[in-house]
Structure 1
Amino acid sequence: MNGLESGLPLRVIVASHNPVKMEAVRSGFQRMFPPSEIEVQAVNVPSGVSPQPMSDAETLQGALNRARSAKQAVPQADFWAGIEGGIEQYKGTLSAFAWVVILSADRCGKARSATFDLPPALAEMIRQGVELGEADDRLFGRQNSKQQNGAVGLLTGDVIDRARYYEQAVVLALIPFKNPHLYPPGGEWG
């Protein structure tokens, strides 16, 4: 019996110490399962993909690897969440997005964030092998922006910051857990 069924606090393990990812997961769970108490814990696990995933498939694999590794590292929890940001080229432009994978003992939920095109100056740095967070810092004269507002926050003037950007994908990845009668146990990777 998990926290949803017992009324106990939900214990969620986030496969990252990045405060932006932790906030997105906490907020997404709170929105989907009010008034549940949410306990979020970070665990540092590898993504198993390149530092800057450059395809949809590699990004999804990174999120899944993170969630699975978190589940192995801290098996006593209700949920495990992996978030991986990625980039994909489409007709000469580079677009940024993220995948979220959430696992429970018997289900898997996944969702992709919205996608936005990167400006040519960022795209050029990424094509030269620079990770998006580092490219953001160079272009905007910042430090550690990926643990703050990220590219999406910098480019939108914080109309959408990185935590809110990921939060929607977290909410969408939680659909199978909100509607377990519609999603049989197991799922694609459960």
Structure 2
Amino acid sequence: MNFPKRVNFQDSEKQLVIVGSKNPVKISCTENAFSEAFSKAFLVNGVNAASGVPDQPKGDPETYLGAKNRAKNAKKTFPEASFWVGIEGGIDDDEHGMFAFAWIYIEDRDGKSSQAKTGTFYLPAQVQKLVQGGMELGEADDTVFAQENSKQQGGSVGILTHGVVDRKAYYSQAIILALIPFLNKNLY
């Protein structure tokens, strides 16, 4: 099988990636995903960046906008970077119940952007009820599962999979998928 030529940055210095969040999970998963995708080390830092959406985004458009705004605001805060990443978790409902997911938005210094979405998973009735009552998902998880600050650890996905898939792994795959156009510049 013939794969497209892999992008290989030859810079001797590490490239800087800025995440539009100070959440350690989001920073760590971004560092892992970039290093794995490009087979090199990156310097990854987080900044407080406004999402411009409610604390608990609902639906794809609102959640995607939150990720995009976080990346764009991170770029305004720290324009010297090579990449800016926005990660926004959201919820939505369908005929099966309430489910969780996240959007990833990445922009590079040339203005090229890309996005990807995580997989989805359904939330238990007790969590759904608290979120429907106005509570943010992380807070609802902490309440139902007697956790503290779970969104900066394994998150809902980590709690519900008993640690088999934690928030870091969950986001990392979507970040790599969002990097596809940057890995294949000749195709995108």
User: Shorter-chain-normalised TM-score: which range?
Assistant: over 0.9
| Corresponding residue for residue 181 of structure 1 | 186
| Corresponding residue for residue 118 of structure 2 | 113
2:162 to 148, 151, 157: 157
Distance in 2 (CA, whole Å) between partners of 1:57 and 1:74 is 26
- The gaps in structure 1 that reach 5 residues or longer are 184-190
**SS of match in other structure, 2:9:** helix
Matches within 5 A, 1:134-153: 134-153=139-158
Shift of 1:132: 0.2
Distance in 2 (CA, whole Å) between partners of 1:92 and 1:9 is 45
| Corresponding residue for residue 64 of structure 1 | 68
| Corresponding residue for residue 94 of structure 2 | 90
| Corresponding residue for residue 80 of structure 2 | 76
2:42 to 38, 50, 64: 38
Point out the more displaced range, 4-13 or 87-96: 4-13
TM-score (norm 1): 0.92
Q: CA RMSD in A?
A: 1.1
Question: When the two structures are aligned, how many residues end up with a matched partner?
Answer: 180
* 1:3-30 CA distance string (max 9 Å, x none): 9353431210011010000011001001
* 1:121-160 CA distance string (max 9 Å, x none): 1111100000000000000001100000000000000000
Distance in 2 (CA, whole Å) between partners of 1:18 and 1:4 is 27
Over the matched positions of the two proteins, sequence identity in percent amounts to 47
Residues 1:130 and 2:135 aligned together? yes
Distance in 2 (CA, whole Å) between partners of 1:105 and 1:48 is 22
Cα pair 1:8 1:37 within 8 Å, conserved: no
Q: Please identify runs of 4+ aligned residues in structure 1 that moved more than 2 A.
A: 3-8
Cα pair 1:101 1:110 within 8 Å, conserved: yes
- The gaps in structure 2 that reach 5 residues or longer are 1-7
| Corresponding residue for residue 108 of structure 2 | 104
Residues 1:19 and 2:24 aligned together? yes
| Corresponding residue for residue 53 of structure 1 | 57
Distance in 1 (CA, whole Å) between partners of 2:58 and 2:118 is 15
AA aligned opposite 1:158: G
TM-score (norm 2): 0.93
